[in-house]
Amino acid sequence: MKRQTAAVLLTLTLAISAYATTPASNATIDWSKAEKNYTVALASENIGLRHSAASYIAEYRLAGAVVSLIGVLQNDKVEQMRMAAAQALVQLGNKDGLDAVKDAAQYDGSEKVARYCEQLISSLEGSISQK
């Protein structure tokens, strides 16, 4: 009796966990809403959240966030965030974003950020010339 009960519970548990982890096949992503949320996250006081937002904007190619990323690149006090914004802008490949990264390579107050932006632009130009 105990073995039967244990077997039934195990089977039930496995069935429930399998069902719970199966993604819905008709699920859709509202990219407009995602873009707004990531843009809001760029203004957070939490640097980890801001850094993740910049990375996900680039990964998901959310071009509507370019202006916000340019704002981070030009105005953020944290070097790491300006560098993350530059990286995202280069990945997006938007002309205005690339121009902002080129400007930062020349005019950013931090030598570290300026050098990083210069390296991003150089590697981008190198990959374009190889094509």
pLDDT at position 98 is 97
How far are the Cα atoms of 85, 88, 99, 106, 109 from residue 77, in angstroms, in the given order? 12, 17, 20, 17, 10
Residue with the two structure tokens 């859709």: 28
Identity at 35, one-letter amino acid code: E
Token output for 127: 């990959």
pLDDT at position 22 is 43
How far are the Cα atoms of 69, 120, 131 from residue 50, in angstroms, in the given order? 10, 20, 33
Q: pLDDT for 93-130, tens place per residue?
A: 999 999 999 999 999 999 999 999 999 999 988 776 66
Check: CB of residue 16 under 8 Å from CB of residue 8: no
The CA distance from 17 to 11, in Å, is 10
Per-residue pLDDT of the chain (131 residues; tens, 9 = 90+): 666 665 555 555 555 555 544 455 546 889 999 999 999 999 999 999 999 999 999 999 999 999 999 999 999 999 999 999 999 999 999 999 999 999 999 999 999 999 999 999 999 887 766 65
Check: CB of residue 24 under 8 Å from CB of residue 55: no
Which domains occur in the chain, in start order? 31-129 (1.25.10.10)
